[in-house]
Amino acid sequence: MLVFKFGGASVKDAEGIINLANVVGKYKSEQLLIVVSAMGKTTNALEKLTKAYADQTDDMQAVYEGIKQYHYDIMAELFEPGHPVFDDVANTFVEIDWMIEDEPHDDYDFIYDQIVSVGELVSTRIVNAYLNEAGLKSQWLDVRGYIHTDNTYREGVVQWDKTRDSIKLSLPTQLERSIVVTQGFLGGTSENFTTTLGREGSDYTASIFAACLGADSVTTWKDVPGVLNADPKLFEDTVKFDELTYTEAIEMTYYGATVIHPKTIKPLQNAKIPLLVKPFNHPEEPGTVIKDGAAHVFKKPVIIIKQDQVLLSLSTKDYSFISEDHLSDIFSKFAKSHVKINVMQTSALSFSVCFDYKAEYFSRLLDNLKSDYNIKYNNDLTLITVRHDRDGIVKNLTAGKTILLEQLSRNTAQLVLK
């Protein structure tokens, strides 16, 4: 049994959905579970809608109409008028209508998950209907009854035992009967509220299902030929890895390679299920295989560039040393503010941390820290991570730049640059 994951870029327009059906059609003889993300940039647009609703701004209806229109335009290209999918999608959007009718009272993260989740609920309705239209028998599955999480909204923590039981109970028989299409990125709480698993979490969804079902492999279909040594949008002569070990893939995603969500690998590694990263426009190409004991010699370094970084330094108000107690307090405040640390460094009197700038989390973080610490920060910085440095690439990348923080270990160099 195979698990496929199609991300937003692969289903961003009617052509993408037709291509998805073509790819799936090549695997007719297999049992297939298909995990789909929201179409194109829908999640960003729904985030904008959530903010507009929470702040009750004037553009709220316009943002919402734009999201609906985008989906209806794609559907108009794929289905005859009167096809039942139009009603299914309209009924799904009603979940947002109900929410935004009243003034916002609930917690922001809760509202976020109830609104943003509609992107995946709608995209899977459309994909499922189109597969059936294309003669590939498929059924739609509401993932919220299968992936159970706690109620940490926007970062749902998977309850593995309950999830495994639900998945094993009915999915194997459903997969014998037809293809199953379900939502990436979403989960459900015990009170039947919707949670999300963290941005770009659909890969993780695919890996949870694969681990629980003992799948033969997971394939994530991408708009690149496989896992590359660097971002092709930033570097010209990138190379594709044919194979990577789970460990190298975990390291790469940990340092910010966006090709796979960081939480994806571990469940697959534990269950020894290979992860294939393949190009959705050339499904016959081998892509990259991530598995145990993969053979790889790094002829080229792995380069990961993260823009829009903040470097923040904390010191105690009385200029005492940064002690273990301070560190534990600082870490818990970062966790509470949902800020993930990319690099950190301690000195006697200060503690420096580099992380992604996200306006709303950043202001939460400053609020949580400012009463106990002196804070200094720079933003608009770049974090460069180079693994397996070859040909002095670190030197080339940093030439002419101001290095604000540098950390070197045997295989990895990390630099924060201005």
From the list 14-22, 37-45, 156-164, 230-238, the region that binds ligand ASP by CB under 6 A is: 37-45
Q: How many beta carbons lie within 10 A of that of residue 83, not counting itself?
A: 14
Contacting residue, 187, 201, 274, 279, with ligand ASP by CB under 6 A:
201
Q: Which amino acid is at 317?
A: K
Integer-rounded Cα Rg, in Å, for the chain is 23
Q: Are 310 and 375 in contact (CB under 8 A)?
A: no
Q: Which of 83, 7, 25 is closest to 279 using CA atoms?
A: 7
Range list of H helices, 370-402: 393-398
Residue 184's binding partner, choosing from ligand ASP, Mg ion, none, with beta-carbon cut-off 5 to 8 A by kind? Answer: ligand ASP
Q: Which of 344, 348, 352, 351 is closest to 321 using CA atoms?
A: 348
8 binds ligand ASP (CB under 6 A): yes
Report the residue closest to ligand ASP, judged by CB: 202
277 in helix, strand or coil? strand
Residue 185's binding partner, choosing from Mg ion, ligand ASP, none, with beta-carbon cut-off 5 to 8 A by kind? Answer: ligand ASP
156 binds ligand ASP (CB under 6 A): no
From the list 68-76, 137-145, 200-208, 235-243, the region that binds ligand ASP by CB under 6 A is: 200-208
38 binds ligand ASP (CB under 6 A): yes
Residue 364's binding partner, choosing from ligand ASP, Mg ion, none, with beta-carbon cut-off 5 to 8 A by kind? Answer: none
The C-alpha atoms of residue 21 and residue 25 are separated, in whole angstroms, by 6
Helix axes 108-116, 118-133, angle to 10 degrees: 10
Please identify, using beta-carbon distances, which residue of 133 and 356 lies nearer to ligand ASP: 356
How many CA atoms, within 13 angstroms, populate the side-chain half-sphere of residue 230? 22
From the list 198-206, 311-319, 367-375, 407-415, the region that binds ligand ASP by CB under 6 A is: 198-206
200 binds ligand ASP (CB under 6 A): yes
Please identify, using beta-carbon distances, which residue of 123 and 337 lies nearer to ligand ASP: 123
Please identify, using beta-carbon distances, which residue of 37 and 315 lies nearer to Mg ion: 37
**Binding interface with Mg ion (CB under 5 A):** 8, 37
**Rounded least distance, CB 412 to ligand ASP, Å:** 26
Which burial class, exposed, middle or buried, applies to 81 when counting CB atoms under 10 A from its CB (0-12, 13-18, 19+)?
A: exposed
- DSSP structure string for 285-311: S--EEE-TT-----SS-EEEEEEEEEE
- Write the CB contacts of 358 (distance below 8 Å, at least 6 apart in sequence): 339
43 binds ligand ASP (CB under 6 A): yes
Residue 201's binding partner, choosing from Mg ion, ligand ASP, none, with beta-carbon cut-off 5 to 8 A by kind? Answer: ligand ASP
Contacting residue, 40, 184, 262, 279, with ligand ASP by CB under 6 A:
184
Residues that bind ligand ASP (CB under 6 A): 7-8, 37-38, 43, 119, 184-185, 199-202
